Each structure stands twice: as C-alpha cells, then as structure tokens.
Amino acid sequence: MNSYYKEPHSFHIPVMGTGFTIDTPLKVAKYGISSVISLVDDMLIEQMRKFHSEKNNISYSAIKKGMEDWRARRITSYLDLLHDLVKKDVSALIDSSFEEGSEITKYFELLPESNLKKEYLEMKKLSSGEEKTRLQKYLRSQVVTGSIDVNIMTKLDNIPVVKGKQIDVKYSDAGAALRGFAKSKLSSSMIFSAGMNPRLFDAINQYKDFLPDAFGKLKKRIVLKVSDFRSASIQGRALARKGLWVSEFRIESGLNCGGHAFASKGVLLGPVLEEFRKGKAKLVETLGAAFIKSGGDERVVANGLNITVQGGIGTAEEDKFLREEYKLDSTGWATPFMLVPEVVNIDDEHLKKLAEAKKSDVYLSDASPLGVLFWNIGNSAAELARKARIAKGHPGSPCVNKHAALNTEYTEFAQCTASMDYQKIKLADLEKENLPSALYKRKKQYILDKACICHNLAGAATKTLGIDDKALTALTPGPNIINFSKISTLKEMVDHIYGRINLITSENRDHMFIKELELYVDQFKTKYDDISIGFLVKEGKKQLVELGSNLLEGIAYYKKLSDKFAKETKESFLVSLEVLAQEVLAMNKIVEVLS
C-alpha cells in the first residue's frame, strides 16, 4: 500500500446486498481484513444492533421509526457497537498466546507472504527465551485492524413519509445514512456508488471527520465506486472543489460482478484499468490542484490516492496479475465469499443452492426497481415467492421499507416499481396500449421481473440469525459463483486468494476478462433484439454501433495484453477471444442493416 492507510492484506470484501455482509466486520476485522456493510436498510441495522447487543450482554434501547432523526441514529448506534465489539476482539487477539489455534496465530497465518509474515515464521522456529519473547512483543505491536467501511447507493435517497406526510429533506435516506456514519466513532471509508448525487455531495463537508485534522489526516475517507476514468475524474473534481479528497477510486466491472451491474457502452475492464494506470499521476495532480485551491491540506494530496478493482476475480493468478500489471492497491473478492458462512450471513438452504449453482441458474435480470441490470438466481426463496404470486394473479411484492420507491408516475408519493400497487396499475395500462405481440410480451415481462431488493436482501441475515423465521432470502451472486462449489472456511478462502490452495471446482473456468467480454456480447445481442421490437425507444443503431466498436477495441487490447500471460493461460485466452471476436463482427454486420 502506498497511500492513505496501511493494511496487512491485499484484498478486501466488498458490500454484498444488505444482509450478507451487514456484520462481516465482526468476523474478519480482527484479522486485518477490511469489509463493507450497506447502510440502505435501517430496519435491518436496528434489528442487528438488538441481536448483537443481546448476544454480548449490552443494554439495548430501541430507536423507533418516527423518532427524531431515527435513521441516522440507528446507523450511528450500530456502527458504534461494531467499533466497540471489534476493538474488544482485537484486544483479546493481541493478548492471546502464540499457540496452535489461538486468535493471534490465526491472524498471522492468514497473512500473505510479506516481511511481517517472515518474521512470524522466524519467531515460530525459535526456542523459548528472551529473543522469542521480544519478537512476539514486536509482532503484537504490528497487528492492524481491518477497516469497517460502509456503502451508500447515492440514488437511493428518498424522503420518508411519516403519518401520510413527507418529512424534511434533511432526513432523506442517503443524507441520513451519511449523517449516521459521520457521527459514528469509526475511522474508515464511506463508499459512494451509483454516481453523483449533488444534494448528498453538498452535505459531506459539514462533517469535520471528512476534513483533515491538525496533522493532515482524514478520520473518515471518501471512496468512489466507478466503472471508467471519466466518471472518476468528473466526480473527483466535483468533490475536490468542495474541499473534499477522494482517497480511493474503486473500479468495478460493468457486468462481471454481483448485485447491480452498471453496464458500460462496451468499454471492457482491461482498457479501463490501463487508462487508470497511465492517468493516475495526472489525476492526482488535477484533483490535488482543485483540492488545494479550495483550501485543502497539501499533506492529504501528498498521501496520494488508491486505485482498486473488483468484479469476477477468481484465481490467485488473476489477482496477482491485476495488482502488478495495473499497479493496484487492493482487489475486491465478493461472490466467492458467499460460500463462506464464517464470513457472511446465509442460511443452509441457500448456501446449498449457491454451491450447486450452474450457469443457467445465475442470470442478469431486470429485477431491480432502479432500472439497472441485476444479477439473480432463479431458485431463491424470494424469487420462487415472486413467481408464485404472479401465477396466482397477484404480481408484485409487499413494499415494506420503500427505499427503492422512486416512481411518481401514478401517485404523489413515490412508489416502488416492484410493489403490488404499482404493478397492478402498470399492467392495466399496458393492456390498453394495443401493442404488437413481441413488444407486449417484453414490456409485460419487464414489469413483472421487478422484485423487492430492500427487504428480501435482508433475509440472508434475519432468517439465518433467527430474527425473522418467515423472511424470504434473495440471492445476488455474480457469475463467478459457478466456479466455486465447496463450502469453505475463512482460512481456506484466504489461502485460495493467495495461491496457497485452489478452491476452483469448475473444469473450464473462463478468464475473468473473457467472462466479462462474453457477458457484453450477450448484452449486445439482447439490446439488438429489444431495439428491433421497439422496446428500447431511447436507444438505437448508433448505440449498438458504439457498443460493437468498443468491444472490438477491447479485444484488440486483450490480444496484445495476452503476451504477458503464462503460456498455458495465453493459449486458451486467445482461442476464447477469437470466438467472441467473430460473434462481435457478426453482430456488427447485422446492426449495419438495422433501420
């Protein structure tokens, strides 16, 4: 690590849904592993605060909906609880003895190859005595706690309705989540995803923890999840002009990831990473100038910023190549950890479904009410219930949390497009349109596909922990899940990441770059089909031509990049690349004749 904070591990665990990683820091932070929790669902957060307070014999007083600033207070209280519990666990770890199975032994055994790991191994070889005691004392002083990071989807910024009235805008969902984190004890990162939210960004610099202290240090850091260099530059400058420094740009594959998939216009991950590698120094210079001009501290700029990546990484070889080729500070591993119940919340039924998942089970869907592609698995309890309601003539989901209620097409107060009320009206309107059969079927399917991604994503935690036995679990793994089928321990997964063991069970796993390209080729075909029947009215031939052109540019880049691969990897990579190149060329010819 060469910038704002030192971490013992070269990977982090990104946010997964709302329930999967809601308390992951309690399980991994003491071992120096950073992870991210979602701040979307304050009802779940309050339930988890109650659960962990009672589990640890800590007094609990409920913060009820409708109380003054309840959402922010729930979040602050839960994050403070996590902070205190992790701090307690780390203290116990440091005090534990260096013996087989102890917590401090586990901490050092999990580490990647490093100077610190070498010193630990040297200590193990020593006989009892003054030198061993001295080295053990030194090792204890080097224990670093993993960061308890949080995530806000910037577009989920509803203004809550209480007793039939919309409350003050300062209590908006995203604004309250920001305030809840800002007032917490944590020294960690706020990860903003899903693009810019001017109202939210304008509010950040009122919280002193996001501003440099007397020593030029940031207690709370800003991380932007981005899919391209241009977005990073625009958002980074917007914040720098407000005197706010972006400590990290977290690049995510447009399609080869879990949960929401923010597809690009065919610009592939490799070329995006190359642009960041080449442009990082200039980016720091540009953002630094704007930051300092706005009164920012030069010492913050001197610390630089981190560039990290996540989405579809599956092998130690890929992980190492990404970090070394593109000079990255960390990699994100999410989907494989869904098979590690020691790290995430998941009930046995759905753990088994993930372990047995095949390619046909995991698919990109229109399930998200945000109108963004969303990874889904068809046999989760939530999906089976959604399909059952449709079969019974009662489509849609009960709208419990209303965090994704963004549509004002029919009502004064926003509705969620996955809700029963909205879908009933929307389907009735569709029947009046007298559309051609193909377009009618596609529009109807688009309406019915919408699913509850607020409440049901909490089911992974509430059902597993016995908080709500009737909860429906939704699953949102990325396509990488089909390459893993072994239910694993934390140690096994970390060992896999660092190449000490291999957990891949798929015999013909595609390279992560090939998989992303394949997904974009599939999307190319889907977009063409939709445009052909008139479904995507805002897109047309021009967008398809751009998509095809970008894919071919990416393919050309990968052909050159493959020279840096190991021989065996290169050979299979080029074969797959050529097959997909031919599919793109064929699609380009079809698009040429599109009116």
Following DSSP, what letter does each residue of 400-421 receive, concatenated? SS-TT--B-SS-SS-B-TTBHH
Asked if residue 542 lies in contact with residue 527, where contact means CB atoms within 8 angstroms, the answer is: no
* Residue position matching structure tokens 């995510």: 252
Residue 109: CB partners within 8 Å, gap ≥ 6? 491
Asked if residue 376 lies in contact with residue 383, where contact means CB atoms within 8 angstroms, the answer is: yes
Please give the Cα distance from 70 to 563 (Å, whole number): 56
Please give the Cα distance from 378 to 123 (Å, whole number): 50
H helices present in 338-401, as ranges: 348-355, 381-391
One-letter amino acid for residue 260 of the chain: H
State the total domains in the chain: 2
Nearest to 246 by CA among 192, 309, 293: 192
The answer to whether position 96 is within a domain reads yes
> Which string of DSSP letters, residue by residue, matches 137-196?
HHHHHT--PPPEEEEEETT-----EETTEE--GGG-HHHHHHHHHHTSS--SEEEEESS-
Asked if residue 14 lies in contact with residue 36, where contact means CB atoms within 8 angstroms, the answer is: yes
Asked if residue 536 lies in contact with residue 573, where contact means CB atoms within 8 angstroms, the answer is: no
Tokens of 370: 């945000």
Confidence (pLDDT) at 5? 52
For the chain, give the longest Cα–Cα distance: 87
SS3 percent helix, strand, coil of the chain, rounded to 5, is 50, 10, 40
b/e per residue, 275-290, with b = 16+ CB within 10 A? Answer: bbeeebeebbeebbeb
Tokens of 290: 């704007």
Residue 376: CB partners within 8 Å, gap ≥ 6? 362, 363, 364, 365, 367, 383, 451, 475, 476
Per-residue confidence in pLDDT tens, the chain, 595 aa: 334 457 899 999 999 999 999 999 999 999 999 999 999 999 999 999 999 999 999 999 999 999 999 999 999 999 999 999 999 999 999 999 999 999 999 999 999 999 999 999 999 999 999 999 999 999 999 999 999 999 999 999 999 888 888 899 999 999 999 999 999 999 999 999 989 999 999 999 999 999 999 999 999 999 999 999 999 999 999 999 999 999 999 999 999 999 999 999 999 999 999 999 999 999 999 999 999 999 999 999 999 999 999 999 999 999 999 999 999 999 999 999 999 999 999 999 999 999 999 999 999 999 999 999 999 999 999 999 999 999 999 999 999 888 899 999 999 999 999 999 999 999 999 999 999 999 999 999 999 999 998 888 999 999 999 999 888 999 999 999 999 999 999 999 999 999 999 999 998 999 999 999 999 999 999 999 999 999 987 788 999 999 999 999 999 999 999 999 999 999 999 999 999 999 999 999 999 998 7
User: Where does a domain end: 180, 211, 232?
Assistant: 180
Please give the Cα distance from 173 to 181 (Å, whole number): 12
Q: Which domain holds residue 68?
A: 1-180
The answer to whether position 453 is within a domain reads no
Residue 518's CB is within 10 A of a number of other CB atoms, namely 18
The answer to whether position 67 is within a domain reads yes
User: Where does a domain end: 147, 180, 213?
Assistant: 180
The answer to whether position 150 is within a domain reads yes
Tokens of 215: 């020593």
Please give the Cα distance from 249 to 402 (Å, whole number): 29
- Beta bridge partner(s), residue 374: 260, 365
User: Where does a domain end: 127, 155, 180?
Assistant: 180
Asked if residue 6 lies in contact with residue 34, where contact means CB atoms within 8 angstroms, the answer is: no
Q: pTM surpassing 0.75?
A: yes
The answer to whether position 209 is within a domain reads no
Number of helices (H) and strands (E), helices first, in the chain? 21, 13
The answer to whether position 520 is within a domain reads yes
Asked if residue 278 lies in contact with residue 476, where contact means CB atoms within 8 angstroms, the answer is: no
